[in-house]
Amino acid sequence: MADTTETLEERLSRIHRALGDERLEAVDDVLADLEPAEVALLLESLPPAARIKLWERVPGEVDGEVLLHVHDEVRSTLLDDMDHAEIVAATAGFDTTDLAEIFEDLPQQVAEDMLRSMDELQRNRLQETLSFEEDSAGRLMRTDTIAVRADVSLETVKRFLRWKETVPDNTHALMVVDRNGFFMGVLPLARLVSHDPEMAVADLMDSDVDSIQVTMHSRDVATLFQTHDLASAPVVDADGLLLGRIVIDDIVDVIRENSEQALMNMAGLDEEEDLFAPVMPSAKRRAVWLGINLATAFLAAWVIGRFEDALDKIVALAVLMPIVASMGGIAGSQTLTLAIRGLALGQISRTNSSWLLRKEIGIAALNGVLWSLVVAVLAVLWFGSVAIGVIIAAALVINMLAAGIAGIVIPLMLKRSGIDPALSGSVILTTVTDVVGFMAFLGLATLFLL
């Protein structure tokens, strides 16, 4: 039995030490107990040099499974370390779904040789799978479905299964089809074993089950699995012909990736990003994001520059102005995060967005008034000027209202334009709260204090 009490962190320390001391048998000992997905996690947790050392100790027969479990970016670092023959051997046992998953990452020469070595049927299947959109049900489905006819008896089904011998362990239900292969329903194995063998499949099957269109987006497939507590589901084409099945194991990955995506995108990162990517490519990728933000920072500076006069005369303005911008940014990012999660879950539509906007304006008004009073008192105590207190309070209320509105309106507009709100939302929002904040505070000061 695998030791389930050792955490990844402990295992990581153990293997890190073993790799450092070149104790390769100790490395092999750790590897021997692990599932491919655990090896994948370990590989992802190691810096490049250690990662390659470990990868070379991973037994060839699990190489393929490990490649399927790592993030895209890590996968290409591993593939780079393999020669032609190793890649072919690792992917030899892959079904079409798995092959399609990594096919586009393969070195071109390997991919071509692989296609050439396939028989007609395999090649057609792979090309068909690759023809489905990247995030569609067609890419997730497995073709190892066991289908039975509706008009046979349970006894016949059992004889068939005994004759087949190898029913995949993760089969929870048999698919039921008519004589032309069209989907009719599902027969859970639990029912097959607990009912009279003389009964017909048709009498016992569930025909009220959700079948998945092969073109359905993986995100919608995941929602369906979650809302219907499914363990597996049939995939059909537009005519209802059974093409395969999707199992929950693959859906769990979709759910995790979708949730991680919002978190990473909000910081301008890709969810496939390798934590231990080398410095140069990482720096390049992040440079783009920093450049965009620099442009917006210059925009804010330009706004400040419009008020040089006021800044020149009253130094307190320069001291206090970041407070107005920062409070707006924080309030706005709270609203934005809520909206991004709501949009990701499909919970925000045109019908309820106006209610949401009113709610966020209400919250902004309440917190704006509360905190502007605090800020005003502190500003008066600090600089001994009531006028500055009043002006910063007014500017803070204005900026927090702007933040609340922008936090709802920006993601909705981005979504409607087909742009990922998590990726662009925070840059645009900060621009709004910086510009509005500086303009309101310095503008009011120019009007009333000069």
Span 189-248, contacts to a second copy by CB under 8 A: 189-196, 207-213, 216, 220, 223-229, 231, 248
Q: Is 406 in the site for a second copy (CB under 8 A)?
A: no
SS3 414: helix
Stretches 84-92, 108-116, 118-126, 303-311: which one binds a second copy (CB under 8 A)? 303-311
385 binds a second copy (CB under 8 A): no
Stretch that binds a second copy, among 84-92, 97-105, 109-117, 336-344 (CB under 8 A): 336-344
By CB under 8 A, is residue 350 in contact with a second copy? yes
Phi and psi at residue 217, in whole multiples of 5°? Answer: -70, 140
Q: By CB under 8 A, tell whether 164 contacts a second copy.
A: yes
Q: Where are the alpha helices (DSSP H) in 132-278?
A: 137-140, 154-164, 189-194, 201-204, 218-227, 248-266
Nearest to 204 by CA among 224, 174, 244, 231: 174
Judged by DSSP in three states, 236 sits in strand
| Binder among 92, 115, 283, 450 for a second copy (CB under 8 A) | 283
| Contact between 2 and a second copy per CB under 8 A | yes
Residues 38-97 contacting a second copy, CB under 8 A: 38, 41, 44-47, 50
Near a second copy by CB under 8 A: residue from 300, 428, 429, 439: 300
Question: Counting contacts by CB under 8 A, is residue 33 touching a second copy?
Answer: no
* Angstrom distance (rounded) from CA 429 to CA 421: 11
3-state secondary structure of 185: strand
β-bridge pairing 242-247 and 232-236: antiparallel
Least separation in angstroms between residue 382's CB and a second copy is 8
Q: Is 24 in the site for a second copy (CB under 8 A)?
A: no
Question: In sequence order, what are the residues at sequence separation of 6 or more whose Cβ sits closer than 8 angstroms to the Cβ of residue 224?
Answer: 210, 212, 230, 233
Name residue, tokens 């209802």. Answer: 240
* Residue 106 C-beta: closest distance to a second copy, Å: 24
How many Cβ atoms sit within 10 Å of the Cβ of residue 88?
15
Which position among 52, 153, 371, 449 is part of the footprint of a second copy (CB under 8 A)?
Answer: 371
Would strands 232-236 and 212-213 be described as parallel, antiparallel, or unpaired?
Answer: parallel
Q: Is 333 in the site for a second copy (CB under 8 A)?
A: yes
C-beta of 447: minimal distance to a second copy in Å?
18
Q: Check the CA dihedral 264-265-269-270 and report its sign.
A: positive
Q: How many chain residues interact with a second copy (CB under 8 A)?
A: 144
For a second copy, the closer CB: 99 or 422: 422
State which of residues 24, 92, 115, 345 lies at the interface with a second copy (CB under 8 A).
Answer: 345
Contact status: 301 vs a second copy (CB under 8 A) = yes
Minimum CB separation of residue 297 from a second copy in Å reads: 4
CA dihedral 47, 50, 55, 56 (to 10 degrees): 150
Cβ proximity to a second copy, 48 vs 83, nearer residue? 48
d(CA 400, CA 82): 55
The binder of a second copy chosen from 241, 255, 409, 419 (CB under 8 A): 255
Where do the H-state alpha helices sit in 345-420? 350-383, 386-416
Asked if 109 is part of the footprint of a second copy (rule: CB under 8 A), the reply reads no
Identify which of residues 17 and 23 has a Cβ nearer to a second copy in the complex. 17
